[in-house]
């Protein structure tokens, strides 16, 4: 019998790995995306895991735990660079009655996260209705007011991506990996990416996900995509923590 989500959370069987995002203009690591793993589950699938959490009524608790642990396990004090930490979050978490309290407590416990976090909003079909609620805009404003950034994840996959970009005014647009696959040979995908490159400005930064071939990376650079993520440039892995200096 498989363990339920709450049991797995309480038993500390969840782990967090980090995949780099690269600035391909200056060839430096721009940030890392935190990704959930559970070694206790064979052939673990994060998407299925979060669906189970939704069915078991503990999605907010799992999202909250992921946010906390992603922060705790990330080397914010690396003296060589100061990359951003990208954390996935569901819209339902953002409008939850306890979300504001969660964010304020995190700021008190970890003041160094100011200006260092990017919350990636997942466009899941289960929560399409939430994008039309005033509460979501309020939650996004809360994050920005606290010095955090907001990204729309998997843009191009959801039904309302373009409308959400216009109305939510994200700091980052993450194009779905579909657009990076065979990018070098697909004129249509090149045209779409060029559109987003032209659309973005100093307040909105474009990120292309799922880059796995050198020829597609070269095409992305040619199209002036600033930030890229994918197995070609780095697989998800645990990072070495660096403690703050104590005077």
How far is the C-alpha of 205 from the C-alpha of 113, rounded, in Å? 20
Radius of gyration of the chain (CA): 18
Strand partners for 151 = 120, 172
pLDDT of residue 126: 86
pLDDT of residue 64: 97
pLDDT tens-place values along the chain, 247 residues long? 467 899 999 888 899 999 999 999 999 999 999 999 999 888 999 999 999 999 999 999 999 999 999 999 999 987 567 899 999 999 999 999 999 999 999 999 999 999 999 999 988 888 888 998 999 999 999 999 999 999 999 898 765 678 889 999 999 999 999 999 999 999 999 999 999 999 998 889 999 999 999 999 999 999 999 999 999 999 999 998 665 544 3
pLDDT of residue 2: 67
Domains detected in the chain: 5-229 (3.20.20.450)
pLDDT of residue 148: 97
Q: Cβ contacts of residue 130 below 8 Å, gap of 6+?
A: 91, 92, 95, 136
Count other Cβ atoms within 10 Å, centred on residue 17: 16
pLDDT of residue 246: 41
pLDDT of residue 200: 94
């Amino acid at each position: 019998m498989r363990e339920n989500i709450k049991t797995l959370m309480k038993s500390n069987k969840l782990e967090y790995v980090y995949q780099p995002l690269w600035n391909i203009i200056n060839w430096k690591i721009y940030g890392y995306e935190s990704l959930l793993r559970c070694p206790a589950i064979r052939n673990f699938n994060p998407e299925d895991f979060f669906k189970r959490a939704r069915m078991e009524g503990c999605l907010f608790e799992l999202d909250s735990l992921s946010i906390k642990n992603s922060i705790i396990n990330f080397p914010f004090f690396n003296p060589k660079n100061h990359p951003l930490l990208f954390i996935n979050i569901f819209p339902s978490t953002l409008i939850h009655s306890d979300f504001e309290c969660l964010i304020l407590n995190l700021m008190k416990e970890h003041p160094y996260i100011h200006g260092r976090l990017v919350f990636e909003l997942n466009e899941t079909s289960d929560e399409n209705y939430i994008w039309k609620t005033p509460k979501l805009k309020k939650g996004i404003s809360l994050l920005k007011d606290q010095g955090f950034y907001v990204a729309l994840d998997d843009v191009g996959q959801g039904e309302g991506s373009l409308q959400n970009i216009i109305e939510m005014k994200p700091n980052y647009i993450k194009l779905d990996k579909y657009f990076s696959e065979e990018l070098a040979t697909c004129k249509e995908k090149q045209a779409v990416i060029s559109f987003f490159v032209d659309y973005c400005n100093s307040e909105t930064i474009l990120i292309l996900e799922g880059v796995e071939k050198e020829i597609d990376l070269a095409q992305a650079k040619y199209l002036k995509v600033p930030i890229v993520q994918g197995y070609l440039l780095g697989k998800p892995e645990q990072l070495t923590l660096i403690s703050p200096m104590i005077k």
